[in-house]
C-alpha cells in the first residue's frame, strides 16, 4: 500500500464506548462530531474516505453551509491529538479528495474482531471446531459493552453498530456450533434454549438446538423443538420451516448414524475431557450411558410417531447428513 505510515502507539477501540489511547494515555474527545469522525475513519481503516462522504455522514445528509471547512477543522484537531512524534507523524493522512486513517489491524479492536470472526467461520467449514471455538472466544472477548452508545444519534454510526451486532450474533452462534461439534452439549444447551425462546423464528438456532438435543440423548425434546418452530412460523408468518431443518428432522427420525460425532471430533472430545482431569475410562462410561439413553428415548419416539414420514412437510426426501459450506452444519446429500 502506497504512502502508508504506521502509528503503533495509537490504539482505537469501538466495541464499547469509544476509547482512544496514545502512548498508553487515554485521550478525551469532547466533540461528538469529532468522535463520530474518528469512528467513521476507523471503520474504514487504510481506505480513502472522501470529504463529501464524511460531510454527508457527519450531518446525516443535511450538512450546513461551510460543512467542509468545519470538517477540515475537526481533522486538524484530531491530528494535533494523534501526532505523537510531531506534526505529520500521526495516522490521519490527506489523500486525493479525502482522508485515510493508516492503522495496523492489531491497533483497532474492530479489525481484530472481524478477523477472528471470519477465521472462526472458516475453521468451522474446515471441520476444526476446537480452533474455531478459540477464534470466536477471542472475538467476543473484545467487546466492552454496547458499541458507541454515546454516538447513537448519528445514522452512519448506527449502521456500523448494526453491522457489528450482526457479526457478534453470528460469532455467538458459531461458538455454540463449535461446542456442539466438540460434544460439549451440556455447555451449549442452556444458551441455545434461551436464544431459541428469544428468537422463535431463527431457523439456524433451532436447527443447532435440535442437533444438540439429539446428540445429548434427548431426541424427544429435539422433535418438540421442531414442532414449536413449525407452529410459530405457521401461526405468525404463514410459512413452514425450510428444507434443511426438515432434512435434519427426517435424519433424526431415521436414526441416521452420520448425525453423531465424527471420529476426529470424538478424539478432540477425549483430549479436552482428559486435559480437564477426566480419565479415559470415566469418559467411555459417560459416552456409553449417553448412547444408551439416546437409544431408549428414540425407541419411545418412534413407537409414538410410527412412520418416519410423520411430521415431514413435503418435498423430496433426502438425508440431512453432509456439512454445508456456509455454517459447518450437515446438509442434504447430493442426489
The CATH number assigned to the domain holding 53 equals 1.10.10.10
Task: Give the three-state DSSP class for 20.
Answer: strand
Over 60: is that where the pLDDT of 319 sits?
no
- pLDDT at residue 88 tops 80: no
The pLDDT of 35-49, averaged and rounded, is 94
Question: What is the rounded CA–CA span in Å between residue 7 and residue 38?
Answer: 15
Residue 291: predicted pLDDT: 54
Higher pLDDT, 317 or 249: 249
Same domain, 130 and 45: yes
Spatial contact of 217 and 290, defined as CB atoms under 8 Å apart: yes
Kindly state the cell numbers that stand for 36. Answer: 463520530
Q: How confident is the model at residue 290 (pLDDT cuts 50, 70, 90)?
A: low
- Domain membership of residue 1 as a residue range: 1-181
Is residue 112 within 8 A of residue 106, CB to CB? The reply is: yes
| pLDDT, averaged across the chain | 81
Kindly list the distances between the CA atom of residue 47 and the CA atoms of 13, 22, 68, 113, 233, in Å, as whole numbers in the listed order.
18, 21, 20, 18, 43
Residue 62 lies in a domain: yes
Query: How many folded domains does the chain comprise?
Result: 2
Task: Express each pLDDT in 163-178 by its tens digit.
Answer: 999 999 999 999 999 9
* Whether pLDDT at 25 is above 90: no
Closest-CA residue to 252 (of 194, 170, 321): 321
Residue 116 sits in the same domain as residue 215:
no
Same domain, 175 and 213: no
Per-residue model confidence as pLDDT tens digits over 53-73: 999 999 999 999 999 999 999
CA 18/CA 182 separation, integer angstroms: 36
> Which three cell numbers mark 70?
468545519
Q: Are residues 211 and 252 in the same domain?
A: yes
Q: Domain check: are 207 and 176 in the same one?
A: no
Q: Is residue 191 part of a domain?
A: no
175 in helix, strand or coil?
A: helix
Same domain, 83 and 171: yes
Query: Is the residue at 22 inside a domain?
Result: yes
| Confidence bin at 283 (pLDDT 50/70/90) | low
Question: Are 113 and 251 a contacting pair, CB within 8 Å?
Answer: no
Please give the average per-residue pLDDT across 277-298, as a whole number.
Answer: 52
Same domain for 36 and 151, yes or no, is: yes
Question: 206 and 92 in one domain?
Answer: no
171 lies in the same domain as 54: yes
Domain boundary among 153, 181, 209: 181
At residue 228, does pLDDT exceed 70?
yes
Which of the listed residues 181, 208, 228 is the one where a domain comes to its end? 181
The pLDDT value given to residue 312: 35
Instruction: Locate 137 and state its grid cell.
Output: 472466544
105-155 pLDDT per residue, tens: 999 999 999 999 999 999 999 999 999 999 999 999 999 999 998 888 888
CB neighbours of residue 170 within 10 Å = 17
Exposed / middle / buried, residue 335 (Cβ in 10 Å: 0-12, 13-18, 19+): exposed
Query: What pLDDT shows up at residue 330?
Result: 43
**Cα dihedral sign, 100-101-106-110:** negative
Position 206 in a domain: yes
The pLDDT assigned to 84 comes to: 72
DSSP assignment string, 253-268: HTT-GGGSPPHHHHHH
pTM, two decimals, is 0.73
* Residues 131, 234 within the same domain: no
With beta carbons less than 8 A apart as the criterion, state whether 212 and 192 touch.
Answer: yes
Residue 102 has pLDDT above 50, yes or no: yes
Q: Are residues 8 and 139 in the same domain?
A: yes
Q: Is residue 73 part of a domain?
A: yes
Are 53 and 139 members of one domain? yes
Report the interhelical angle of 51-58 vs 67-82 (nearest 10°): 100
Question: What's the average model confidence in pLDDT over 222-250?
Answer: 95
Q: Say if 187 falls within a structural domain.
A: no
Confidence class for position 24, pLDDT limits 50, 70, 90: confident
Does 192 map to a domain? no
Higher pLDDT among residues 192 and 268, named by residue: 192
What is the per-residue pLDDT for 288?
A: 56
Give the DSSP H/E element, type plus range, for residue 322.
strand 320-323
Whether the pLDDT of residue 34 is over 50: the answer is yes
Q: Is residue 88 part of a domain?
A: yes
pLDDT of residue 172: 97
More confident: 307 or 150: 150
Amino acid at each position: 500500500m502506497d504512502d502508508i505510515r504506521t502509528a503503533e502507539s495509537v490504539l482505537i477501540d469501538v466495541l464499547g464506548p469509544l476509547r482512544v489511547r496514545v502512548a498508553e494515555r487515554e485521550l478525551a474527545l469532547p466533540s461528538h462530531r469529532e468522535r463520530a469522525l474518528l469512528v467513521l475513519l476507523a471503520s474504514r481503516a487504510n481506505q480513502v474516505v472522501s470529504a463529501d462522504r464524511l460531510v454527508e455522514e457527519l450531518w446525516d445528509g443535511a450538512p450546513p453551509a461551510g460543512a467542509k471547512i468545519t470538517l477540515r477543522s475537526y481533522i486538524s484537531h484530531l491530528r494535533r491529538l494523534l501526532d505523537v512524534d510531531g506534526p505529520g507523524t500521526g495516522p490521519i493522512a490527506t489523500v486525493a479528495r479525502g482522508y485515510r486513517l493508516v492503522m495496523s489491524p492489531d491497533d483497532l479492536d474492530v479489525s481484530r474482531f472481524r478477523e477472528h470472526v471470519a477465521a472462526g467461520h472458516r475453521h468451522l467449514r474446515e471441520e476444526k471446531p476446537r480452533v474455531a471455538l478459540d477464534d470466536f472466544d477471542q472475538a467476543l472477548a473484545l467487546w466492552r459493552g454496547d458499541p458507541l452508545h454515546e454516538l447513537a444519534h448519528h445514522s452512519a454510526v448506527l449502521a456500523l453498530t448494526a453491522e457489528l451486532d450482526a457479526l457478534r450474533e453470528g460469532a455467538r452462534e458459531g461458538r455454540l456450533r463449535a461446542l456442539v461439534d466438540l460434544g460439549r452439549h451440556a455447555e451449549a444447551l442452556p444458551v441455545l434454549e434461551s436464544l431459541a425462546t428469544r428468537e422463535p423464528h431463527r431457523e439456524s438456532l433451532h436447527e443447532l438446538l435440535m442437533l444438540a438435543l439429539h446428540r445429548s440423548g434427548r431426541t424427544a425434546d429435539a422433535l418438540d423443538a421442531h414442532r414449536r418452530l413449525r407452529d410459530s412460523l405457521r401461526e405468525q408468518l404463514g410459512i413452514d420451516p425450510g428444507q434443511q431443518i426438515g432434512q435434519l428432522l427426517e435424519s433424526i427420525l431415521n436414526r441416521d448414524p452420520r448425525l453423531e460425532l465424527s471420529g476426529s471430533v470424538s478424539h478432540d472430545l477425549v483430549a479436552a475431557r482428559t486435559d480437564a482431569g477426566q480419565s479415559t475410562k470415566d469418559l467411555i462410561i459417560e459416552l456409553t450411558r449417553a448412547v444408551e439413553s439416546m437409544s431408549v428415548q428414540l425407541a419411545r419416539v418412534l413407537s409414538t410417531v410410527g412412520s418416519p414420514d410423520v411430521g415431514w412437510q413435503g418435498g423430496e426426501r433426502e438425508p440431512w447428513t453432509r456439512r454445508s459450506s456456509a455454517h459447518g452444519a450437515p446438509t442434504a446429500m447430493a442426489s
